[in-house]
Amino acid sequence: MSVDMKRKYARMLVTVGMNVQKNQPVLIESEPENSWFANMVAEEAYAAGASNVIISYIDKRKLKLDALNRPLSEVASYPEWQGESYTQIMHQRAATLRLESEYPDLMRNLSDDKAAAVFEYIDGLRNIMRGIMAVNHTQWCIAVVPNQTWAEKIYPGEDKAIVLEKFWNQLFKLCYLDETNDPVATWKAFNERRSEISEKLDALDLVSLRFMSSNGTDLTVGLGERSKFGMPKAAREKLRTDPSHVPFAANIPSEEHCTTPLRYKTEGIVYSTRPLLVGGKMVDRFWIRFEHGKAVDCGAAEGEDMLRSIINTDENSAYLGEVAMVEYHSPISLSGLTYYTTLIDENASCHLALGRALLDARSIEEENGVKTPYNHSKIHIDFMFGAPDTQVTGVTRSGQTVSVMKNGDFSF
């Protein structure tokens, strides 16, 4: 691994991820351990013309200490000054970058309520950004920065002296980054290919998707008139000529084709195929059963109390806000690794999200006579359930049954 590749990755997050514009402020969220990389991104952002770069450090180790020693109501709440600082920079139309760096076993010995308080604090700050971004339509990106502890978890039993370098090199592959390519051109071509698949999905005019796997998953998810996987080619071409439109890559890496399902139209049971890390706590080998759109029962080999806490976060957190299809034979899945972060693992597997819809559900009061047809919640928690033998069939608006995925891959 060379420093030049790290620099190239940092530049890609600025030019492809956030696509920072001249005189635009930038907000970076990072772990203190990764300050060196956050500063590298800041250098590249200034080189791209950023007017100001602010780095906000969220220290999970310190948050664990807080959870062990302070009232949980205080741990779960961000101080007023911190909320105001986020609000101020976001109202300046800042581009934002979240540098994910996991410590998979850090919170293992915390009680679920303490871990949930840590998650609520972090998610509360991020909800400030999400709310203002939804109004201002500014660019945002979530990306990964490896650390030693995380690398050792991904590569158990391997030489600790080399696992961090191995993780970095693997990350570059997953992000389609090498020493010679042009990341802007590479990602433009990659996104065009993804858009073509999303356009094919939308052309089917689906009203439901049924997922079945040999592990027991049998789940039907209803789709509405606004449940779109992408944008038609003509609309994409028109958007490119709009001087106010700034394209960006929200997730790096990304392999998903996702949409917002109807709130009340999910039925059946789903079994997870990858672990879920929430608030630093592991939830693994779990299942959820849905009736009339709502998660009514669940179980887990590890972290069941945490799973129930997620489902009961608020009055709408038991409903789905996202359904996403990912081919099982995607680069991330074929790596054969579990990454212990939703950002990467969700791009190896079909997944669902409990909670907040991808679209602005609050602005849609009714659809086809159904009130609040899409879900809104303060959480959005993705979990993975795609398997090598996952079959997906769809029902079109005209009543036809069509094959969408076969043995984990698209069948069209």
> 189 lies in a domain?
no
> 188 lies in a domain?
no
For residues 276 and 335, membership in a common domain is answered with yes
For residues 198 and 66, membership in a common domain is answered with no
Boundary residue ending a domain (129, 154, 181): 181
Q: Which residue has the tokens 């009714």?
A: 366
Please say whether the dihedral angle defined by the alpha carbons of residues 275, 277, 281 and 287, taken in this order, is positive or negative: negative
Helix (H, G, I), strand (E, B) or coil at 402: strand
For residues 168 and 254, membership in a common domain is answered with no
For residues 205 and 292, membership in a common domain is answered with yes
Look at residues 247, 246, 231 and name the one whose alpha carbon lies nearest to residue 199. 231
**Over residues 20-47, mean pLDDT:** 98
200: exposed, middle or buried (C-beta count within 10 Å: 0-12, 13-18, 19+)?
middle
**Over residues 342-351, mean pLDDT:** 94
The pLDDT value recorded for residue 98 is 98
pLDDT of residue 3 exceeding 60: no
Mean pLDDT of the chain: 95
Look at residues 62, 41, 33, 42 and name the one whose alpha carbon lies nearest to residue 122. 62
For residues 345 and 303, membership in a common domain is answered with yes
For residues 398 and 336, membership in a common domain is answered with yes
pLDDT of residue 243 exceeding 80: no
Boundary residue ending a domain (181, 206, 235): 181
For residues 222 and 172, membership in a common domain is answered with no
> 15 lies in a domain?
yes
Q: Would you list the DSSP string of 45-56?
A: HHHTT-SEEEEE
For residues 139 and 226, membership in a common domain is answered with no
Please state the φ and ψ torsions of residue 172, each to the nearest 5 degrees.
-60, -40
Confidence class for position 228, pLDDT limits 50, 70, 90: very high
The pLDDT value recorded for residue 233 is 67
Counted domains in the chain: 2
Q: Percent of the chain, pLDDT > 70?
A: 98
Confidence class for position 2, pLDDT limits 50, 70, 90: low
Would you say 409 and 231 are in contact if contact means Cβ atoms under 8 Å apart?
no
> 187 lies in a domain?
no
For 10-29, write each residue's pLDDT tens digit: 999 999 999 999 999 999 99
Look at residues 287, 301, 278, 159 and name the one whose alpha carbon lies nearest to residue 216. 287
Q: What is the DSSP letter of 349?
A: S
Tell me the CATH number at 105: 3.40.1830.10
CA-CA distances (angstroms) from residue 3 to 33, 60, 159, 167, 295?
17, 26, 21, 14, 47
The pLDDT value recorded for residue 199 is 94
Measured distance CA(412)–CA(408) in Å, rounded: 12
For residues 260 and 333, membership in a common domain is answered with yes
Q: What's this model's pTM, rounded to 2 decimal places?
A: 0.92
Q: Would you list the DSSP string of 218-270?
A: EEEEE--TT--SS--HHHHHHHHT-TT-----SBSS---EEEPPPTT-EEEEE
For 94-146, write each residue's pLDDT tens digit: 999 999 999 999 999 999 999 999 999 999 999 999 999 989 999 999 999 99
Name the token pair of 198: 């999303």
Would you say 340 and 103 are in contact if contact means Cβ atoms under 8 Å apart?
no
Measured distance CA(70)–CA(110) in Å, rounded: 13
The pLDDT value recorded for residue 231 is 77
> 186 lies in a domain?
no
pLDDT of residue 7 exceeding 60: yes
For residues 172 and 207, membership in a common domain is answered with no
For residues 157 and 200, membership in a common domain is answered with no
> 125 lies in a domain?
yes
Boundary residue ending a domain (123, 148, 181): 181
For residues 271 and 133, membership in a common domain is answered with no
> 357 lies in a domain?
yes
The pLDDT value recorded for residue 303 is 94
Residues spanned by the domain of 256? 194-410
